[in-house]
Homo-oligomer: A and B are copies of this chain.
Amino acid sequence: MEQLPQYRKLYEQLRKHITNGVYRKGDILPSENELCNVNGVTRPTVRKALDLLANEGFITKHQGLGSVVNKIPKGIGILSIKGTTSAVGSENLSTKVIVKPKVMQWPENFPFPLTETELESGCIYFERLRLVDGEPFFYDITYIPNINLPRFTSYKLDNVSLFDTLREHFKLEIKGGKQHFKAVMPSKNIQDQLAIKDNQPIIQLQRKLSTNRLNFNFYSELFCNTEVYALSGGF
């Protein structure tokens, strides 16, 4: 894999330390100066890594005191820029591909406007069931424009981070996106897949993710059963 920028390497290291329990809620991270010395980088680089952690809710910075580790949310931290696999420890979350990736036309009445290029190229479509502690938690339908992604349909996606796959094989990085939340009653199919009891509402989350490739976005639609676990995130 290609070289990551130093601020990102530090960010991932600290993030892993937090999710692995090296630092726990209430702990104070090493100071910015200490992180400089230990990692051989300068303060703006350290601060950029810490800013990412703060943006995602892992830490809270306090002027004069330090960077305090927050409690990692028990729910699925789905609002961060990272995908779900890295938001919780991968031992809690597993993925089952229900509909394998296939190339098809975009569905009618797609919730996001599509460019002409996207429309013409069709999309790679697949459905995944995500389980937390073995229980179905959300159902994820993904649409990726079928543009310059050779042999994507042959990649295995069970228990694999889609974002990692996109990064490693296609040099695609998620840069941001937007998302819409709605509370809905589930369709029969979703009710079956998520094992939802009658009259239990679910959250429908529609996301458009932008990437480092210009004019290349992809889309996902998730249905989440929030009866046991809330959807959560920091900001």
Interface residues of A (CB under 8 A from B): 44, 51, 54-55, 57, 60-63, 65, 70, 73, 75, 79-81, 175-185, 199, 201-203, 206, 210, 212, 214, 224, 226-227, 230-235
Of B54, B183, B210, which is within 8 A of A184 by CB? B183
Q: Are B203 and A181 closer than 8 Å at their CB atoms?
A: yes
Given A79-B79, A183-B184, A210-B60, does the pair A233, B178 have CB atoms closer than 8 Å? yes
Q: CA separation between A184 and B212, bound complex, in Å?
A: 37
Count of identical protomers in the assembly: 2
Bound complex: CA A183 to CA B222 (Å): 13
CB distance from A172 to the nearest CB of B (A): 14
Other than the given A73-B178, A179-B234, A180-B231, 5 more pairs (CB < 8 A) read: A177-B234, A178-B234, A181-B181, A183-B226, A203-B203
CB–CB A55/B57 < 8 A: no
- What's the Cα separation between A44 and B45 when bound, in Å? 12
Query: Is the CB–CB distance between B73 and A177 below 8 Å?
Result: no
Closest residue of B by beta carbon distance from A59: B176
